[in-house]
Amino acid sequence: MGKRSQKNSVLMVCVGNLCRSPIAEAVMRDVVARAGLQAEWHVESAGIEGWHSGRRPDERALNVLARHNLDYFGTARVLAPEDYLKFDYIFGMDLSNLAALRRMAPKGATAKLLLLGDFGLRPDERILEDPYYDIGEAPFEQIYRQCKIACKNFLKQARLKQIM
């Protein structure tokens, strides 16, 4: 499968595609829309593991997105080998995600594998911790906040062609 049209493409990845990556996807879509660049960017999310494939995101994630007037209509899917050719950028939410992305990359992969938190977050905030087992929505709000900063900074750098 070749690259999709001339759009730049981003895939947000976490373990199960229930919490962090759907939030990151929704935030990145919003950042792109606010910049008026919907025609230039394609954004999706996926999980490293397929335990939750076909399920809607965690209710707490959806509640946080709704509070920020963001919709999310997707369902969880598992990362596929062709994603490494289809997407320009694949973001892990933590170092474990990034290590798995590197380990799973097929021969000839063309996507840049990056840590989302490396874009504009302080060193002590660059890891987007998995909130799945936490109680309440506060950890999901923290993920939203981190994604907002990182996605804005990533898009700015990508437009300036500063990403290697």
| Helices (H), ranges, 35-137 | 59-67, 83-86, 95-104
Active-site residue flag, 130: yes
Question: What is the spatial distance between Cα 92 and Cα 114, in angstroms, rounded to a whole number?
Answer: 6
CA count, 13 A, side-chain hemisphere, 73: 2
Active-site residue flag, 20: yes
Torsions phi, psi for 112 (to 5 deg): -85, 125
Question: Contact 117/151 with Cβ under 8 angstroms?
Answer: no
Q: 143 to each of 9, 104, 118, 133, 157, how far by Cα in Å?
A: 21, 25, 14, 14, 21
Active-site residue flag, 151: no
Catalytic choice (19, 20, 60, 147)? 20
Catalytic choice (30, 88, 94, 130)? 130
Return the closest-CA partner of residue 140 out of 23, 26, 30, 11.
23
**From edge to edge, which strands make up the β-sheet containing 41-47?**
41-47, 8-14, 89-92, 112-115
Residues with catalytic function: 14, 20, 130
